[in-house]
Amino acid sequence: MTVPANATSATNADSARTLADPDTPFAVVDVRKTRRNVERLAARADRLGVALRPHVKTAKSLDVARLLHDGTPCPVTVSTLAEAEAFADGGYTDITYAVGIDPHKLPRVLALLRRGVTLRVLLDSTEQAAFVAEASRRAGLPVPAQIEIDCDGHRGGLRPDAPALTEIGQILHDAGCLDGVLTHAGESYFACTAEEQRLAAQNERDTAVAAAERLRAAGLPVATVSVGSTPTAHAAEDLTGVTELRAGNYVFFDLVMAGLGVCRIEDLALSVVVTVIGHRPEHGWVVTDGGWMAMSRDRGTAVQAQDQGYGLVTDLDGTLVPDLVMTAASQEHGTLTARDGAHLPDLPIGTRLRILPNHACATAAQHRGYHVIDGARTTNTAPAIQTFWERVTGW
């Protein structure tokens, strides 16, 4: 396996040879694991007979995205207009902006549409529909819009039986803007068993399809029925009536997904290299230079059966250090402790370790890019760095 030839090259301080070279903390991506994760969901989407529209919000990287579809641009989902613009610059022309639209952002949306990019926006109110329709008329350029559907009582969207659903659909249709419906099973991140995840996927599909059918019954065309989250994408058994599947976290996975059983610990492709900088034997602590600025404050496993603190610890080769957990963090300090009275390993000052994160999206956001390794290539030294992949930042 090779890293794509068009991957961003490391320069200056990023031209380090192995994980023993760059100043810590820094983010690492194992390209072999990433590719394996990507191929797993692509094969599942093929079996389910739906298009896959990966969400690039986790990696926010054109180089990672090149692993998604044999190096060629594919349909993607974004969480920021900065991502949309960066991916448009990279040749991506089929993009869904899956965060509720506000009027101030429409000029940037229209600018991308004028470049020939199909950029869909998301909304769930008559107010949003009205300003999207008016902006489209003024520009003489329809803004494709999807109506967000609430499938599990989460953060936004309309229920399929909401009176406003067809009203919003009509406003958009009259302006040539209605593209379809979109839902996201956010509560699936708390579905702790395979059966709960299967039911969440079924509910996600049924809710989206019901909304689409209601719009169609009102004489409104629905081209797109979009569903997805990483747990439900891997649990869905039947996506009849759905046109596309979205997921993002799956490219890297993380400890939350492992805790749900969606992946294994060995599938986690993202980690953060830190260095031991102190010991507090009276407290049973090993102190590193990787705090919450390197890992984020996310504590997503705290509600799971096994709380993994701020992350599990491996050596530089990626082998788990038994019973060692990052249990506390301040801005630039991380505290490692032994779980449940286990023996604390001897880790001299200067020892480099890797921390596996709770939430890949949040941890990746702390870094400007990724040092890329192929974890299957073993040597007598620290894993070799093949290249450096930049991330998209900002909004």
- 8-35: per-residue pLDDT in tens? 334 434 456 999 999 999 999 999 999 9
- 299-319: per-residue pLDDT in tens? 999 999 999 999 999 999 999
Q: Give start and end residues of each alpha helix (H) in 282-377.
A: 292-295, 360-364
CB 261 within 8 A of CB 194: yes
Q: Give start and end residues of each alpha helix (H) in the chain.
A: 31-48, 62-65, 81-89, 106-114, 126-139, 164-174, 194-217, 230-233, 255-260, 292-295, 360-364
The residue extents of the domains of the chain are 12-28+259-390, 93-247
H helices, E strands: number in the chain: 11, 17
Calpha distance 296→304 (Å, rounded): 18
pLDDT value at position 12? 39
45, 46, 51, 54: CA torsion to nearest 10: 50
Give the other-Cβ count within 10 Å of 303's Cβ: 12
Cβ-proximal residues to 345 (8 Å cutoff; 6+ apart), any chain: 321, 324, 338
Calpha distance 286→256 (Å, rounded): 24
CATH number for region 12-28+259-390? 2.40.37.20
Calpha distance 202→193 (Å, rounded): 14
AA letter at 216: R
pLDDT value at position 197? 97
93-247: CATH, from 3.40.50.2300, 3.20.20.10, 3.30.43.10, 3.40.470.10? 3.20.20.10
pLDDT value at position 15? 57
pLDDT value at position 1? 36
pLDDT value at position 378? 61
pLDDT value at position 155? 85
Query: Average pLDDT by consecutive 10-residue portion of the chain (395 residues)?
Result: 38 68 98 98 97 98 96 96 98 98 98 98 98 98 98 91 98 98 95 96 98 98 98 98 98 98 98 98 96 98 97 97 97 96 93 98 98 80 94 97
